[in-house]
């Protein structure tokens, strides 16, 4: 059994054994990242492969800190690049008509599994989903998101607010169906 | 709006989420991150050339005359007393003029004996040697012992120390061995002088060979070079000495020795032991001219014994430099290795292999070859060939478009499960390639007699696609036909290959030979390079049938 540091060191030396270990260690988690940022599994698989290749090719630039965080950034950036290539963001449907609502006290998320949650988030419009994932899950700031997506910071904030509101509705609907 | 607790829950659950990675994704990633050998062909070519060079060097070395063989300290060398008799016979028959000469003698160096007389200090010897008027030539014992005019002391073996010095005395022609080299500085001093002197006096004669190749060769023309009284008297620089370990000798030419001047010089080549106290040695007649084909190599061993090896140079046996031309035909059956190619929007679900016994994969190769014998067993060869290869590959694929959504409801009707079915298709590619090829390589016959021989062959070459055609069949219906090479890129599908084989040749007529050789032809590049989402690296097995004609 190898520690993460040993695996990373082995990968830096280009040893195939450690590269495979690294793949086995993170492939499932990184695949989930890819799926969160794409509409189809096909697209996710492409991003997954491309990002993993990037990880191995640029592993020498990893200088410390959380390796998983470093890897995740590569995967997210690859997904964003893919998103730009497909120009889906420009064809974004305007969901501005969605009304914002105040936070409710009821916790409807705790009863929903991660897989279900993923499917529900996946129902968000593409732009909302991106901003929501980047801000709420990955922890990027609005400034970073605006730079990554090439949008205004205010747009990022408003998209996030709308995404939360939209997701709440979806969750409520889902929750009601569950209870029924 | 979601509250903070809900958002934290979502975040946690999203980060903990796992998803099954794509099947065989690791293989694809591994193929991309594996270091690429950009100069793969050159690597193969270099390896092949290296192997060929090694084989060539081995056989050239094997064919080289042995007279240049360097002595080794560990080799067993017979003592001078065991000189073969044929040399003595030639001495009498070919150099009768030397009968008039006073025989040179080799005396046992007394310093080798445990007596008080034989242990003079080195300082006592050197002044004597440095007397300019003294007709003493100091020669390394090994060099002297190998001179042709020195009869080998057959009746008594001489053991000399490695550093001992032999003295040739001009008046009496005797040779004395002295304790050797007390002053090491004399070694480098005397070498260049001697070389110059010997070159000036060079006559058809003997080669003085060096034990080590790094030392300069010294050549002695005749024994008179160092025994002429006039020369030794005029040489005021002191006695000559050889520091080399070995000496090989060619006999002087008969004509030269028969001239009056030579006879006079030979008569004058007399040596006298002027100082018996410094060289109280046993006198032994010497004077063996070496045969034409013989060289004498003497070498002291570590046990402080002078020994000699007589190596008779074998008659020149260079391989016949014959040329051969040939016609060949080879039926070829193709296999292939599927390699990942550039990323695209196509997802191959299943790559179908056609039946291995299918005739679609049978091709052929025919051509002409020319070869030249480098040695009797090694031939360098080149060939021009026309080759036809066939491919037949089919696969099912999808572009990720959803074709159907399957809806499945739970028994209570409260849950609905939707399953997407992707649109997929089948594609078949039936290809035929005609290549023009050039190969260069070598054939080595490892066993042969007058009628048959067995060989191994290794060739490397380049293939240029002359004409290719791929017929695309989608979902069972012929879609289109692609012709290669395209006008934009006539070098499309250029490929390199490596051929190895082992075969059997049979002489059918005086100048003709029939060869059967199973071969493996491995292509170094892919035939489906950029047109398809994968690459195919073919390799083919074939039986090479060739008719060769010898040209002198």
Residue A158: CATH number of its domain: 1.10.10.10
Q: What mean pLDDT do residues A124-149 have?
A: 90
The residue range of the domain holding A51 is: 4-86
Question: What is the nearest CA distance from B17 to chain A, expressed in angstroms?
Answer: 6
pLDDT of residue B449: 85
A24–chain B nearest CA distance, Å: 9
Query: 């054939």: which residue's tokens?
Result: B443
Where are chain B's structural domains? 68-312, 326-399+430-551
**Average pLDDT value for residue range B467-475:** 80
- Interchain contact, B18 vs A32, CB within 8 Å: yes
In terms of pLDDT, which residue wins out, B352 or B151?
A: B352
What distance lies between CA B223 and its chain's CA centroid? Answer: 39
B516 has a pLDDT exceeding 70: yes
**Residue-wise pLDDT tens digits, B402-417:** 777 777 777 777 777 7
| Inter-chain touch B25–A45, beta carbons under 8 Å | yes
Q: Is B199:B216 a contact under the CB 8 Å cutoff? A: no
Give whichever of A25-34, B4-13, B144-153, B464-473 has the largest mean pLDDT: A25-34
Q: Is the distance from CB of A23 to CB of A53 less than 8 angstroms? A: no
Task: With CB atoms and an 8 Å threshold, state whether A115 touches B17.
Answer: yes
pLDDT, tens only, B196-242? 444 444 444 343 334 444 344 444 444 444 444 444 444 444 444 44
Asked if A56 and B33 come within 8 Å (Cβ–Cβ), the reply is yes
Q: What is the mean pLDDT of residues B106-131?
A: 43
**Quick one: A10 and A78 in the same domain?**
yes
- What tens digit of pLDDT does each residue of B281-329 get? 444 444 444 444 444 444 444 444 444 444 443 443 444 678 899 999 9
- Whether A32 and A74 map to the same domain: the answer is yes
Q: Please check whether residues A70 and A9 belong to one and the same domain.
A: yes
Put simply, the answer to whether B17 touches A118 (Cβ < 8 Å) is yes
Mean pLDDT (chain B, rounded): 63
B165: confidence class by pLDDT, cuts 50, 70, 90:
low
From chain A, pick out residues whose CB is under 8 angstroms from the CB of B19: 28, 31-32, 34-35, 44
CB contact under 8 A, A114 and B5: no
In this prediction, residues B530-549 reach a mean pLDDT of 78
**B550 has which bridge partners?**
B324
The predicted structure's pLDDT at residue A118:
87
pLDDT tens for each residue of B24-38:
888 888 888 877 655
Nearest CA in chain A to B8: A136
Q: Both A76 and A126 in a single domain? A: no
Question: Is residue B363 very low, low, confident or very high in pLDDT (cuts 50, 70, 90)?
Answer: confident
The more confident residue out of A78 and B182 is: A78
pLDDT at B149 over 50: no
Residues 6 or more apart whose CB falls under 8 angstroms from that of B83 comprise B152, B154, B288, B308, B310
Cβ of residue B416 closer than 8 Å to a chain A Cβ: no
Assigned domain for A52 exists: yes
The residues, any chain, with a CB within 8 Å of residue B523's CB and separated by 6 or more, are B463, B495, B496, B497, B537, B538, B539
Q: Does B9 touch chain A (CB under 8 A)?
A: yes
Per-residue buried b or exposed e for B143-158, using 16+ beta carbons within 10 Å of the residue's own CB: bbbbbbbbbbbbeebb
Angstroms from B407 CA to nearest CA on chain A: 16
Verify whether the Cβ–Cβ distance A108 to B6 is below 8 Å: yes
Identify the pLDDT of residue B188. 44
Domain B326-399+430-551 has CATH 3.40.1360.10: no
**Is the pLDDT confidence value at A130 over 70?**
yes
Q: Does B127 touch chain A (CB under 8 A)?
A: no
pLDDT at B464: 85
pLDDT at B171: 52
* Higher-confidence position of B409 and A88: B409
**More confident: B134 or B16:** B16
CB contact under 8 A, B32 and A53: yes
Cβ-nearest to A49 among B3, B5, B25: B25
CB pairs under 8 A between A and B: 116
Whether chain B has a CB inside 8 Å of the CB on A76: the answer is no
pLDDT score for B505:
92
| Boundary residue ending a domain (A66, A86, A106) | A86
What residue of B is the nearest CA neighbor of A136? B11
Nearest by CB to A109, from B10, B19, B35: name it.
Answer: B10
A17 touches chain B (CB under 8 A): no
Find which of B11, B29, B399 to mutate to test the A interface (most A CBs within 10 Å of its CB): B29
Which residue from B5, B14, B32 is facing A36, i.e. has the nearest CB?
B14
State how far residue B345 is from chain A, nearest Cα, in angstroms: 9
A131 and A62 both lie in a single domain = no
> Are A74 and A134 in a shared domain?
no
How confident is residue A16, by pLDDT bands cut at 50, 70 and 90? Answer: confident
Q: How large is the ipTM?
A: 0.86
Cα separation, A50 vs A57, in Å, equals 11
Nearest to B26 among A20, A109, A118 (CB): A20
Whether residue B36 lies within 8 A of chain A, CB to CB, comes out as: no
Task: Provide the pLDDT for residue B326.
Answer: 93
**Residue, of B490 and B202, whose pLDDT is higher:** B490
Q: Are B165 and B143 in contact (CB under 8 A)?
A: no
For the ranges A12-21, B170-179, B254-263, B280-289, the maximum mean pLDDT occurs at: A12-21
> B359 at the A interface (CB within 8 A)?
no
Burial class for B355, CB neighbours closer than 10 Å (0-12, 13-18, 19+) = exposed
- Min mean pLDDT across A52-66, B202-216, B370-384, B502-516 is at B202-216
Q: Quick: pLDDT tens for B47-83.
A: 778 888 887 777 666 666 555 444 444 334 443 434 4
Residue A84 pLDDT: 84
Which range of B159-163, B187-191, B214-218, B434-438 scores highest in mean pLDDT? It is B434-438
Taking an 8 Å cut-off on Cβ atoms, the answer to whether B14 and A35 are in contact is no
Burial class (CB in 10 A: 0-12, 13-18, 19+), A50: buried
B6 near A CB under 8 A: yes
Q: Are B181 and B108 in contact (CB under 8 A)?
A: no
Whether the CB of B100 is below 8 Å from some CB of chain A: the reply is: no
Q: Nearest residue of B to residue A122 by CA position? A: B14
Q: Is A116 on the interface with B (CB under 8 A)?
A: no
For residue A142, being part of any structural domain is answered with yes
What confidence score (pLDDT) does residue B545 get?
94
User: Cβ distance B209 to B247 under 8 Å?
Assistant: yes
* Spatial contact of B321 and B332, defined as CB atoms under 8 Å apart: no
A150 in any annotated domain: yes
Domain count, chain A: 2
Residue among A119, A138, A152 nearest A79 (CA): A138
B7: which chain A residues are within 8 Å (Cβ-Cβ)? 136, 164
pLDDT in the model for residue B415: 78
CB B438 within 8 A of CB B384: yes
| CB distance A52 to B29 below 8 Å | yes
Peptide bond into B485 cis (omega under 30): yes
Q: pLDDT tens-digit profile of A93-117?
A: 454 544 555 555 566 777 788 888 8
- To the nearest whole Å, the CA of A36 is away from the closest chain B CA by 9
pLDDT tens digits along A23-51:
999 999 999 999 989 888 888 998 999 99
Q: What is the arithmetic mean of pLDDT over B528-545?
A: 73
**Three-class SS of residue B224?**
helix
Whole-number average pLDDT of chain A: 84
């Amino acid at each position: 059994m190898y520690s993460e540091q040993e695996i990373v060191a082995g990968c830096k030396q280009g040893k195939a054994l450690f590269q495979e270990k690294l793949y086995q260690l993170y492939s499932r988690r990184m695949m989930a990242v890819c799926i969160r940022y794409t509409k189809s599994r096909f697209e996710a698989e492409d991003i997954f492969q491309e990002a993993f290749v990037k990880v191995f090719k640029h592993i020498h630039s990893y200088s410390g800190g959380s390796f998983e965080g470093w890897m995740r950034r590569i995967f997210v950036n690859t997904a964003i690049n893919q998103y730009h290539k497909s120009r889906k963001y420009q064809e974004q449907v305007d969901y501005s008509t969605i009304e914002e609502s105040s936070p409710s006290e009821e916790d409807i998320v705790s009863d929903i599994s991660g897989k279900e949650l993923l499917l529900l988030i996946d129902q968000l419009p593409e732009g909302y989903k991106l901003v929501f994932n980047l801000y709420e899950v990955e922890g990027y700031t609005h400034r970073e998101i605006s730079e990554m997506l090439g949008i205004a910071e205010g747009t990022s904030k408003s998209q996030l607010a709308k995404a939360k509101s939209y997701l709440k509705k979806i969750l409520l609907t889902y929750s009601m169906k569950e209870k029924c | 709006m979601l509250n903070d607790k809900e958002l934290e829950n979502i975040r946690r659950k999203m980060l903990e989420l796992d998803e099954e990675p794509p099947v065989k994704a690791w293989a694809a990633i591994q193929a991309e991150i594996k270091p690429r050998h950009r100069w793969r062909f050159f690597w193969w070519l270099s390896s092949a050339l290296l192997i060929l060079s090694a084989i060539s060097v081995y056989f050239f070395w094997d064919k080289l005359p042995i007279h240049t063989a360097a002595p080794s300290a560990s080799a067993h060398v017979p003592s001078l007393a065991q000189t073969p008799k044929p040399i003595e016979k030639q001495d009498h028959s070919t150099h009768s003029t030397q009968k008039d000469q006073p025989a040179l003698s080799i005396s046992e160096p007394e310093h080798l004996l445990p007596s008080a007389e034989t242990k003079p200090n080195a300082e006592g010897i050197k002044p004597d040697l440095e007397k300019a008027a003294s007709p003493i030539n100091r020669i390394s014992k090994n060099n002297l012992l190998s001179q042709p005019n020195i009869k080998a002391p057959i009746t008594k073996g001489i053991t000399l120390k490695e550093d001992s010095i032999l003295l040739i005395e001009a008046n009496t022609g005797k040779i004395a061995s002295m304790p050797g080299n007390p002053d090491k500085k004399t070694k480098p001093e005397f070498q260049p002088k001697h070389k110059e002197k010997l070159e000036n006096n060079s006559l058809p004669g003997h080669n003085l060979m060096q034990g080590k190749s790094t030392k300069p060769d010294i050549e002695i023309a005749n024994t008179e070079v160092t025994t002429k009284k006039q020369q030794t008297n005029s040489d005021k620089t002191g006695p000559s000495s050889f520091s080399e370990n070995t000496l090989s000798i060619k006999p002087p030419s008969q004509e030269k020795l028969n001239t009056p001047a030579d006879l006079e010089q030979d008569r004058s080549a007399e040596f006298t032991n002027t100082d018996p106290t410094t060289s109280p040695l046993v006198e032994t007649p010497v004077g063996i001219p070496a045969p034409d084909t013989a060289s004498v190599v003497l070498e002291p061993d570590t046990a402080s014994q002078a020994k000699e090896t007589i190596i008779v140079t074998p008659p020149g046996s260079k391989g016949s430099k014959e040329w051969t031309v040939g016609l060949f035909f080879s039926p070829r059956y193709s296999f292939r290795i599927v390699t990942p190619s550039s990323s695209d929007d196509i997802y191959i679900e299943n790559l179908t292999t056609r039946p291995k016994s299918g005739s679609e994969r049978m091709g052929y190769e025919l051509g002409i070859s020319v070869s030249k014998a480098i040695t009797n067993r090694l031939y360098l060869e080149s060939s021009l060939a026309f080759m036809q290869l066939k491919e037949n590959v089919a696969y099912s694929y999808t572009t990720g478009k959803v074709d159907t959504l399957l809806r499945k409801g739970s028994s209570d009707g409260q849950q609905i499960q939707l399953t997407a079915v992707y649109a997929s298709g089948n594609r078949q590619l039936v290809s035929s390639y005609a290549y023009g090829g050039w190969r260069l390589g070598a054939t080595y016959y490892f066993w042969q007699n007058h009628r048959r021989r067995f060989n191994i062959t290794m060739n490397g070459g380049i293939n240029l696609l002359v004409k290719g055609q791929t017929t695309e069949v989608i979902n069972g219906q012929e879609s289109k036909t692609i012709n290669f090479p395209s006008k934009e890129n006539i070098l499309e599908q250029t490929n390199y290959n490596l051929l190895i084989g082992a075969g059997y040749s049979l002489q059918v007529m005086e100048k003709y030979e029939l060869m059967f050789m199973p071969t493996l032809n491995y292509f170094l590049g892919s035939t489906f390079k950029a047109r398809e989402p994968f690459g195919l690296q073919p390799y083919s097995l074939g039986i090479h049938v060739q008719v060769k004609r010898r040209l002198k």
